[in-house]
Amino acid sequence: TQLLEQSPQFLSIQEGENLTVYCNSSSVFSSLQWYRQEPGEGPVLLVTVVTGGEVKKLKRLTFQFGDARKDSSLHITAAQPGDTGLYLCAGARGTSYGKLTFGQGTILTVHP
């Protein structure tokens, strides 16, 4: 079983602070996706990283895929209350983007 360890599980910060969420595994994933989920809704895809060492930016969010494709990080700069939510990393097995193994999730709360 390919497991994804996501940390921290909970993060409570003030508006304007920076934060990083980590996703680690002992196994190699063909691709890794980051999602954000609001209560009572399905996850919304933020980004997919495929190549080892890849870095993608989405406004204030920076995503990195480890060189060995076993780990990934999400860094948010100058967090805002609107960033509050559950962030999930998910690794894909083989060539399928669909059969995902999810990390435990990080509940982020940004206080004004």
By CB under 8 A, name the binding residues for another protein.
6, 33, 40-45, 48, 86, 88, 90, 95-105, 107
> CA of 48: how far to CAs of 13, 44, 56, 58, 112, in Å?
26, 12, 9, 11, 30
Q: 40 or 82, CB closer to another protein?
A: 40
Give the nearest distance from C-beta 95 to another protein in angstroms.
6
DSSP β-bridge partners for residue 106: 87
Q: 18 or 26, CB closer to another protein?
A: 26
